[in-house]
Structure 1
Amino acid sequence: MQEAISFLVAKEPVFKSLQQQYTTFFIPSRPSGFVTLCKLILEQQVSIDSAKACFSKIENLLGTVSPETIIPCSDEDLKSCGVSRQKISYLKILSEAVSSELDLDSFPSKSADEVRNELIKIKGIGHWTIDVYLMFALQSPDIIPLGDIAVVNTIKELFDVHTKEEMEKLSQSWKPYRTMATFMLWHHYLEKRNRKPFV
């Protein structure tokens, strides 16, 4: 972690300024596996608090959240937990995939591209979900989630760069530590808004 910060601070004055401003940065982490992917599906396009409330209700309903408990659960029961019809479908599709061909336990030994290629085939799991899973659960060191509104807005604010193409080009100089760059940008975004970390 410190190696990544030192690299970014030496490379980019904006990161040097952030380090001087905050000293330390919140580094998010989640366990790898099925439950984290379920939580990320619930977090798509809603507030973290709302997603947490949904998951807590699902957990109370099922006891253990697993493919074996989600697959037989009725849509109505899941809907009563505050889950939308679309996300119920996504949770069930993920559950079926994990029960058959998707081996989540193999992901830590695979490259980020290999993990992405497997997960993107699952309906309901897009690049934002994959990026966050790679960063939080698999600790992939070089991810820049340009589908994340907080990252995009913070890059606009701090670098005066406004298109995804320009952001991608800018981030090339942060390799191979773009994940740490993302954490620094997120930290700034949350601090400016007086918001708590979302993990």
Structure 2
Amino acid sequence: MQVLSPFTVFNHEQILKFLNRNERECLHKVIDKEVFRVIRFQNELILFSIRLEGNLQISVHNIPSKQEIAEAITKYVKQWFDLDTNLEAFYQSIEADTILSKLCQKYHGLRLIGMPDLFESLIWSIIGQQINLTFAYILKERLVHNFGESVDFHGQYFYALPTPQRLAQLSIEDLRPLQFSTRKAEYIINIAKAFAEGQFSTEKLQNLSFDEIRSELIKIKGIGNWTANYSMMKSLRYYDAFPIEDVGLQNAVKNHYLLDSKPTMIQLNEMAKHWKGWKGYATFYFWHSLLE
């Protein structure tokens, strides 16, 4: 078992609430206060869990834990729960916005739960395009259960996202029976091929600027401004990435600022001047408020 030191700003309750937001979530399971997840390490599936109570206790369940595995899981957890970010800097930077400041007080210690795997965030954002969240989770579950691998632990199955190589082998006809639209299926296969063939990777983006990364992302068919900003925010940890087109964000802002209608892009950009450097974090807090 590994134990990560306690954090001065870490809201276990709100983070568990976020992780439990949909019962169809298929890439992690929350059992009591323990979160189970499968990651792929050196072509092997590793099932680990994190106990979200006090210290973060990490356990590996399906294989003996070696140092390199422990290090890989620790790195993943830090990225997943954004443990290295100074949340107080976020809170201080948005003090001029009294509405968002109140939201930050309410959810104090909530960290931006990310997706360390860029491929996962791109696939998830494609799945979620132009459909409601409930149906998006259903499609994700069908994709994972039909084409992903799993670990059997005490009679329960824990799934990993299908690899780019596996999804790249599919045809549109393979996905249509699962209720994927032709366009959505095409986009998923295109992205999988780009990763499988080495045209695209997190490593290739690391030394590029914000605008250069966004430009590279939207070159891939199916990735627009919303998807690019979502993945930059959730996987690449660009906290000023701003998925401004997001309907959930617009609805949350409308509710909290007591607007008569959803804000326009111009209005949102004007409001976001108070969130400079942290637009992605602000977006995440607004999204989280929709779980109330």
Q: 2:219 is aligned with what amino acid?
A: K
Match of residue 132 from structure 2: 47
Asked if 1:72 is matched to 2:169, the reply is: yes
1:181 to 259, 275, 282: 282
Residue pair 1:119, 1:130 contacting (<8 A) in 2 also: yes
Alignment gaps of 5+ in structure 2: 1-86, 150-161
**Structure with more helix by fraction:** 1
Q: 1:76 is aligned with what amino acid?
A: E
Residue pair 2:230, 2:242 contacting (<8 A) in 1 also: no
Aligned pair in 2 of structure 1 residues 71, 22: CA closer, same or farther (>3 Å)?
Answer: closer
Residue pair 1:144, 1:182 contacting (<8 A) in 2 also: yes
Alignment gaps of 5+ in structure 1: 192-199
Match of residue 264 from structure 2: 163
1:128 to 186, 204, 226: 226
* 1:145-160 equivalent positions in 2, closer than 5 A: 145-159=243-257, 160=259
- List 4+ stretches of structure 1 deviating above 6 A: none
Residue pair 1:75, 1:88 contacting (<8 A) in 2 also: yes
Identity %: 27
Residue pair 1:35, 1:66 contacting (<8 A) in 2 also: no
Match of residue 61 from structure 1: 146
Residue pair 1:25, 1:187 contacting (<8 A) in 2 also: no
**Structure with more strand by fraction:** 2
Aligned pair in 2 of structure 1 residues 48, 157: CA closer, same or farther (>3 Å)?
Answer: closer
Q: Secondary structure of the equivalent of 1:29?
A: coil
TM-score by length of 1: 0.83
RMSD: 2.2
2:273 to 161, 172, 176: 172
- Give the distance between the partners of 1:63 and 1:166, measured in 2 at CA: 42
Q: Which of structures 1 and 2 has the bigger CA Rg?
A: 2
Q: Give how far 1:88 is off.
A: 0.9
- Give the distance between the partners of 2:105 and 2:211, measured in 1 at CA: 34
Question: Higher relative contact order at CA 8 Å, sep ≥6: structure 1 or structure 2?
Answer: 1
The answer to which of 90-99 and 112-121 deviates more is 90-99
